[in-house]
A and B are shown apart, each in its own frame.
Chain A
């Protein structure tokens, strides 16, 4: 059965304290893995697409990496404005997206 698990559920960081969020998955035939950012009461905003193991993408303080079993979203020297829920989604052969439950990140000034 296709499954996506994100950890931790919540993460509190001091401003400048780097860390990583995890997205582990089991799908039959991965077509792509996607990271989104969601602010409270808003719709998700697309961040990255990763297609194959070893691939990396960067945007400002965020860097996403992919292995055959999981993806990491690394946050370097986070700022309070990075506080949000980060969602991971995987796309299998059937094209539909499976979303994880998200990691709620709080960056304290």
Chain B
């Protein structure tokens, strides 16, 4: 079955530690995205990539980093510079970077203690 796989589903880390969230898709989509979801707020775009080896900052990129070495993979690193890292992180993909029809993964919930 085609889809997006995020791992881990739950992650606990201490303050000051970098963490990397995995996102893999087998939909053959060119575009991939990382969003952050907090209670009472709409989804906010962290980074997006329209093609391999290229990515752009979204609205809240500070404290995050990404890579896109393979079409299928778009990992997100939450660095110690991110001031409020506890959140629900969602990875998505689309066949066309100009569309709003996104396929989302199941999400990763990060809790920083």
Contact = CB atoms under 8 A, between A and B. Distances in A.
Contacts of A90: 100
Contacts of A91: 99-100
Given A41-B107, A42-B106, A34 B42 contact: no
Interface size class of A (residues with CB under 8 A): 20 to 34
Interface residues of B, number: 24
Q: Interface majority SS on B: helix, strand, loop or mixed?
A: loop
Contacts of B44: 99
B41 A46 contact: no
A87 B42 CA distance: 8
B105 interface: yes
A49 B92 contact: no
Contact of B107 (A32, A42, A99): A42
A46 to B, nearest CB: 5
Interface of B: 4, 6, 40-45, 58-59, 90, 92, 97-107, 109
